[in-house]
Amino acid sequence: MDRFFYPESIVVIGVSEKPDNLARNILANLRAFGYRGDLYAVGRQAGEVEGIPIATSLDRLPDGIDLAVILTPAPTVPDLVEACGRKGIRRVVIESGGFGEFSEEGRRLEERLLEVARRWGIRFVGPNCISVVNLETGVCLPFAPLSPEMVRFGPASVVAQSGGVSVTYLDRLSAAGVGVNKVVSIGNKTDLHEIDYLSYLLEDPGTEIVVLYLESLSDGRRLLELARSSSKPIIVHKANRGRASQRIASSHTAALADDDRIVDAAFRQAGILRAEGFRDAVAMAQALSLPPVQGNRLVIISRSGGHAVIAADAAEAYGFRLPPLPDDFAQRVRRLFRADVIALTNPIDLGVIFDFDLYARIVEECLRSLAPDAVLLINTYSPAETEGGRRLARSVEAIVRETGRPVALCVYAMEDEARVVQQMIDLPVFTEIEEAVRGLAAAREWHRRRFVPAPSPAHETAGPNEAAHTLPAGTLTTDQTLTLCQSYGIPIAPWARASTPEEAVQAADRLGYPVALKILSPEVVHKTDVGGVALGLSTPEAVREAARRMMNRAPAGSALMIQRMVEGGVEVILGGKQDPTFGPVVMFGLGGVYVEVLGDVAFRVAPLTRDDAEAMIDEVHGSRLLEGVRGTPPADREGLVRSLLALSRLLIDHPRLLEIDVNPLIALPDGVVAVDARARVE
C-alpha cells in the first residue's frame, strides 16, 4: 500500500497536449503540490506537458516504475494494465469510468481487468475514481484541478466511495481547521476496498482520525474487528441507507432488520462514530482534534443570553451536565469586573461586558478552578469588534495549547469572519452551536470507548457446538425450534406432541390444565393466520374440539403441540438472522403489539458480550415494563441476558440458520420461558 501513497516514481497514462485533456491535470496537480519523485507521461501522440515529455508507449520508459495512473477509455484499460505488468509496475490507479457502474458490457470489462491484474500480481485503486492524495509528499492524483491554497495539512485521512465526496471532505476538513493527511477515492473497489485502506491508515503514523464515506460495506465483520482494536477514531458517513431486504421475510427479525438499522447497531457496538452528513462528520473531526473530552461536565460561556439558552438545550440533548458554579469561583471571577454586571451561573452570560481580553481570563479561570471536561465559548461580535474577536481566538488557541484542555470556540459574526478566524489559528472554529456540542459528544464517546477494555464474548450459557448440517433444511416447526433453543440453555414451557385429538387430550391431562394447542407443520409459517393456535384450554372437551378443528384445516401430515400455559409475566421477542454484511445478528424487543406495530427492537452483531445484551435491553423504549409497574414485580433481567447470550452462541454455531424468532419469551419474576418459536434453515 505504501507505493500508492509514497511512490518514488509515477507514470500518467492518457496524457495529451490538448487543453481539455483531463490526464494533464494530474501532472499539473503533482507539480502544484510539490511532488519530488520522477514523473513520466504516456499518450497517443508525442508532446510535452508540465515540462514532461509524452512517450507514445510504456515500452519507451524505464522498468519498475512505482505507480501508474490510467485515464483512458474503459475498453483500453485491460491492455494497458497488461502492459504495466510487463514493465514491472505492480501498483495502478484506474480513474477511467465506464465499467460495471455503467453497463453489463462494462461489468464484463471489469472482470477482465481484474483477471489481468491478478495474473501479474498488480493491485489497483478503482476503477471509476478520482484517485489518491498524500499531502505529506505532494502526491495529488485527481483529474480535477486542485489548488494547494484550498487545503490544510492535518491529522485526518479520508476514504470515500465517491470522487466528488472525497474532494468535498478535502475542502471541508481543511476549511474547518482540522486538516487532511491522505485521501483516497475508491470508486468501484473492484480490487482494493475500504477494509484494505482502513487497515493501512490505522497503522499510518500521519493519520490520527479516519473518515469513511461508504455507500456499501464490503466486509462488515472485518470493519467491526478493526474498529474494536483501533487506537484511532473512525467516523463513517454511510449513505444509501434505504435498502431493506427485497425478499419476503418469514420472521419478525428479518422483516424489521433492514440494512440501516443493523448498520447503526453494529457501529455503536464497535465504537464507530456514525455521521449523518458532511457537517456532522466535520464537527466530529473538529472536536476530535481538540484535547480529549473525558466526561459530561460542560461549562458554557456566551456573550449572548439567547445563544447560551440554545447551547444549554443542546448540551442536555447530548447528555452533558452543566454543573453549578461554586461560590469561591464566583468570588474570584467577580474581582475581574463589577459584581452587578452578570449573574455567575452555568451557562455564563457575559451580558454587557465588552472586554475580549477579560473573556480569555474567564476561560482560563474556568479551566483552572473548575476543571470541567470541556468548555464551549460562544463569541458573537459585530464588524466594529473584529479586532477583539480575533484577539480572543488567538488567546483561546494559546490556552488550549498550554492547558491541554478542550475549548470549543464557536464564532457568530458577519459575512465570512469565521473563515478568516479559522485561517488565522490552528484551533478548530465552529460556526453552529449544535455542531460544536455534537462534536464534543462524539469526542466524549470516543474517549470512553478508547479507555474501556473490549470485553470478550460471553459463553457462560454455551450449549452444544453442533455441526451446522445437523439442522434440516427448510422451515423448522415450533417443537423443533424450541428443542434447539432448549439445547442452548433457553428454558421452554413443558409440551408434548400429538397426532390425533385423543392423543392431545391425553397429553393435556399429563401436563396439567390450562394448555395451549398449536398446529405443527413446516408449511404453516404464521399459525394464527390459519387458526392454528388455541389458548387457555381448561377441559378435555375444549382440547378435543380445538384439536379436531385444527386437524380439519391443517395440511396433510400435520401434528399438534400441546403446551402448558404460562401465566403472567412480560412477553418479549428474541430473534436472529444471517445478515449479508455482518453475519449473525441478534434482535431483542417487547412482544405483542410492540414488535408488530411499533418495531421497538434493538440489534447487535453476534457474538454478544454481556454488556451488549444489557445494552440491548436498555435500548428498547418499552423496557421499563420489565422493571415492574403499578405494583407488578420486575422481570428476571438476568434470565433475559442469559437467553440473549444463548441465542448469540446458537447463531454462531449454525451459520445455515437464516432466521429465528423466539416469540414470545415470557419474562417472569423468577425466570424466563419460551413458549413459541420458528426458524428457517438454508
User: Which of 548, 564, 580 is the C-terminal boundary of a domain?
Assistant: 564
What burial class does residue 429 get, using C-beta atoms within 10 Å of its C-beta: 0-12 exposed, 13-18 middle, 19+ buried? buried
Phi-psi category of residue 196: left, alpha or beta, with phi > 0 → left and psi -120 to 50 → alpha: alpha
Judged by average pLDDT, the poorest of 42-56, 324-338, 394-408, 623-637 is 324-338
**DSSP strand pairing (52-55 vs 38-42):** parallel
Task: Show Cβ contacts of residue 184 under 8 Å, excluding neighbours closer than 6 positions.
Answer: 4, 125, 131, 132, 133, 158, 159, 160, 166, 197
Whether the per-residue pLDDT at 254 is higher than 50: the answer is no
User: Which of 264, 289, 314 is the C-terminal boundary of a domain?
Assistant: 289
Considering the domain architecture, whether residues 409 and 388 belong to the same structural domain is answered as yes
User: Could you tell me the CATH number of the domain that includes residue 404?
Assistant: 3.40.50.261
Which CA distances in Å does 669 have to 77, 281, 567, 643, 676? Answer: 68, 44, 12, 15, 19
What is the C-alpha separation between 517 and 540, in angstroms, rounded? 12
Residue 424 domain boundaries: 291-450
Place of cell 497536449: 17
Whether 473 maps to a domain, the answer reads: no
Place of cell 421497538: 600
What is the C-alpha separation between 444 and 446, in angstroms, rounded? 5
Considering the domain architecture, whether residues 106 and 171 belong to the same structural domain is answered as no
Helix (H) / strand (E) element for 474: namely strand 474-476
Residue 278 · residue 167 · CB < 8 Å: no
What is the C-alpha separation between 539 and 72, in angstroms, rounded? 81
Which CA distances in Å does 221 have to 282, 581, 587, 644? Answer: 26, 7, 17, 20
Closest CA to 235 of 282, 202, 195: 282
pTM of the model: 0.90
What is the C-alpha separation between 263 and 278, in angstroms, rounded? 18
First to last CA, the chain: 38
Can you point out the beta strands (E) in 539-616? 559-564, 570-579, 583-590, 601-605
Whether 478 maps to a domain, the answer reads: no
What is the C-alpha separation between 58 and 94, in angstroms, rounded? 16
User: Which of 547, 564, 581 is the C-terminal boundary of a domain?
Assistant: 564
User: Could you tell me the CATH number of the domain that includes residue 558?
Assistant: 3.30.1490.20
pLDDT at 192: 96
Question: Average of pLDDT values for 111-126?
Answer: 97
Question: Average of pLDDT values for 347-351?
Answer: 83
Residue 351 · residue 338 · CB < 8 Å: no
Whether 207 maps to a domain, the answer reads: yes
Alpha carbons within 13 angstroms on the beta-carbon side of residue 371 total: 1
Place of cell 488550549: 400
The C-alpha cell at 640 is 433475559
Helix (H) / strand (E) element for 125: namely strand 123-125
Considering the domain architecture, whether residues 585 and 630 belong to the same structural domain is answered as yes
Can you point out the beta strands (E) in 192-322? 209-214, 234-238, 273-275, 298-302
User: Could you tell me the CATH number of the domain that includes residue 46?
Assistant: 3.40.50.720
Q: Widest CA span of the chain, in angstroms? A: 99
Judged by average pLDDT, the poorest of 16-20, 243-247, 402-406 is 243-247
What is the C-alpha separation between 644 and 620, in angstroms, rounded? 14
pLDDT at 330: 73
Confidence of residue 283 (pLDDT cuts 50, 70, 90): very high
Considering the domain architecture, whether residues 273 and 162 belong to the same structural domain is answered as yes
Residue 42 · residue 10 · CB < 8 Å: no
What is the C-alpha separation between 402 and 396, in angstroms, rounded? 10
Confidence of residue 78 (pLDDT cuts 50, 70, 90): very high
Overall domain count for the chain:
5
Whether the per-residue pLDDT at 249 is higher than 50: the answer is no
The C-alpha cell at 412 is 457568530
Whether 368 maps to a domain, the answer reads: yes
**DSSP strand pairing (234-238 vs 273-275):** parallel
Considering the domain architecture, whether residues 258 and 339 belong to the same structural domain is answered as no
Whether the per-residue pLDDT at 593 is higher than 70: the answer is no
The C-alpha cell at 268 is 455503536
What share of the chain has pLDDT > 70, as a percent? 91
Q: Over the range 115-152, which residues count as b (16 or more CB within 10 Å of their CB) and which as e?
A: ebbeebebebbbbbbbbbbbbebbbbbbbeebeeeebb
Whether 668 maps to a domain, the answer reads: yes
Can you point out the beta strands (E) in 631-675? 657-668, 671-674
3-class DSSP assignment, residue 78: helix
pLDDT at 555: 86
Q: For 41-103, where are the alpha helices, taking DSSP H only?
A: 77-86
Whether the per-residue pLDDT at 335 is higher than 80: the answer is no
Considering the domain architecture, whether residues 303 and 276 belong to the same structural domain is answered as no
**Torsions phi, psi for 307 (to 5 deg):** -65, -35
Task: Show Cβ contacts of residue 180 under 8 Å, excluding neighbours closer than 6 positions.
Answer: 133, 135, 151, 152, 153, 154, 156, 157, 158, 169, 170, 173, 174
Whether 461 maps to a domain, the answer reads: no
pLDDT at 468: 45
Considering the domain architecture, whether residues 554 and 576 belong to the same structural domain is answered as no
Helix (H) / strand (E) element for 185: namely strand 180-185
Residue 519 · residue 527 · CB < 8 Å: yes
Whether 486 maps to a domain, the answer reads: no
Within 10 Å of residue 616's Cβ, how many Cβ atoms?
25
Task: Show Cβ contacts of residue 644 under 8 Å, excluding neighbours closer than 6 positions.
Answer: 574, 586, 588, 608, 612, 613, 616, 617
What is the C-alpha separation between 475 and 678, in angstroms, rounded? 8
Considering the domain architecture, whether residues 300 and 347 belong to the same structural domain is answered as yes
User: Could you tell me the CATH number of the domain that includes residue 587?
Assistant: 3.30.470.20
Give me the amino acid identity at 35: Y
3-class DSSP assignment, residue 382: coil
pLDDT at 339: 46
Task: Show Cβ contacts of residue 638 under 8 Å, excluding neighbours closer than 6 positions.
Answer: none
Considering the domain architecture, whether residues 252 and 343 belong to the same structural domain is answered as no
Whether 248 maps to a domain, the answer reads: yes
pLDDT at 255: 46
Considering the domain architecture, whether residues 555 and 411 belong to the same structural domain is answered as no
Considering the domain architecture, whether residues 552 and 597 belong to the same structural domain is answered as no
Instruction: Find which of 253-262, 354-363, 663-672 is predicted with most confidence, using mean pLDDT.
Output: 663-672
Task: Show Cβ contacts of residue 530 under 8 Å, excluding neighbours closer than 6 positions.
Answer: 519, 524, 553, 554
Considering the domain architecture, whether residues 236 and 269 belong to the same structural domain is answered as yes
pLDDT at 242: 63
3-class DSSP assignment, residue 603: strand
**445-498 tens-digit pLDDT:** 999 987 665 556 665 555 565 444 478 899 898 999 999 999 999 999 999 999
pLDDT at 426: 95
What's the order of all strands across the beta sheet hosting 67-70?
47-49, 52-55, 38-42, 9-13, 67-70, 91-94, 123-125
What is the C-alpha separation between 421 and 390, in angstroms, rounded? 6
